[in-house]
């Protein structure tokens, strides 16, 4: 593609961000639709991310994706935001910045794809983790389920996440076996599945038949969590689903067109190699 002074620039920021597959995904969609735009990854290591993000307005960016640890700072940096956490920013024609969170809706889109009947059979959810992505997913799920249990190694974070939801409850980390045994949907939303991390011995032997298991990690694509779920014969959803669908919603917010999620998955699987 030819890049000129009129080319719209979009980016993903975070720390770290070099591992991100978002440039491959979004630049593929940009090419699909013949748009004059480019998407890059920008590492942001800062003790004052809110002001750093606000300063990016001077560079004429069209939009941003935000990953850890800057999602709360991004929401504060925006002139208006859907909530206290934002993973998407959009610069408006008047120069103001709007914040959105597509993580939760993107997870539901991925769940619809992986287990189309989930709304009819998921009542109890076990959320392993209580970070920004876990909270966004739980908020999106809360209108469709009876109870969401948060289990987190740091108890205070689980308490805070559960307190923010009408259906939120807390499960002690050392009581995971009971949580696995009762859940209809188990979501692994920590960094424990990432390459180089020591994954715990997940108690899948106690799960009910037909439980849906989702991991939001996509490096590696086949995590120990998902491998154990599949060995038990359970429905397993990898982290690419959420990545692609939250990205598709961001792309539509920026460009007003719906991108092809199937093409994105093929490209990303090839990139993961």
Q: Which two tokens stand for residue 41?
A: 């990854």
CB 237 within 8 A of CB 215: yes
CA proximity to 207, closest of 229, 240, 238, 192? 229
CA proximity to 211, closest of 227, 190, 192, 187? 187
**Of these residues, 2, 71, 208, 258, which one is catalytic?**
71
Peptide bond into 257 cis (omega under 30): no
Beta-carbon contacts of residue 181 (< 8 Å; ≥ 6 apart) = 203, 206, 207, 208
Task: Please confirm, yes or no, whether 258 is among the known catalytic residues.
Answer: no
Q: Using the Cα atoms of residue 162, residue 163, residue 168 and residue 174 in order, give the sign of their dihedral.
A: positive
**Annotated active-site positions, please?**
71
């Amino acid at each position: 593609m030819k890049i000129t002074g009129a080319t719209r620039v979009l980016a993903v920021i975070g720390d770290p961000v070099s591992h991100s597959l978002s440039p491959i995904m979004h630049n593929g969609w940009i090419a699909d639709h013949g748009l004059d735009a480019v998407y890059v990854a920008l590492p942001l290591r800062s003790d004052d991310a809110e002001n750093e993000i606000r300063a990016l307005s001077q560079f004429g960016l069209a939009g941003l994706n935000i990953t850890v640890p800057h999602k709360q700072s991004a929401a504060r940096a925006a002139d208006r935001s859907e909530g206290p956490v934002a993973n998407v920013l959009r610069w408006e024609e008047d120069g103001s910045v709007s914040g959105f969170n597509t993580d939760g809706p993107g997870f539901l889109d991925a769940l619809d794809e992986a287990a189309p009947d989930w709304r009819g059979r998921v009542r109890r959810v076990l959320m392993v983790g209580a970070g920004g992505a876990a909270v966004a997913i739980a908020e999106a799920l809360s209108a469709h389920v009876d109870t969401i249990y948060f289990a987190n190694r740091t108890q205070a974070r689980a308490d805070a996440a559960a307190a923010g939801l009408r259906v939120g409850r807390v499960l002690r980390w050392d009581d995971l076996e009971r949580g696995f045994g009762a859940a209809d949907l188990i979501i692994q939303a920590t960094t424990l599945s990432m390459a180089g991390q020591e994954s715990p011995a997940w108690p899948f032997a106690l799960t009910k038949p037909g439980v849906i298991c989702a991991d939001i990690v996509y490096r590696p694509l086949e995590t120990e969590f998902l491998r154990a779920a599949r060995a038990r014969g359970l429905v397993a959803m990898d982290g690419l689903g959420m990545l692609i669908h939250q990205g598709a919603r961001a792309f539509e917010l920026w460009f007003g067109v719906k991108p092809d999620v199937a093409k994105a998955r093929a490209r990303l699987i090839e990139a993961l190699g």
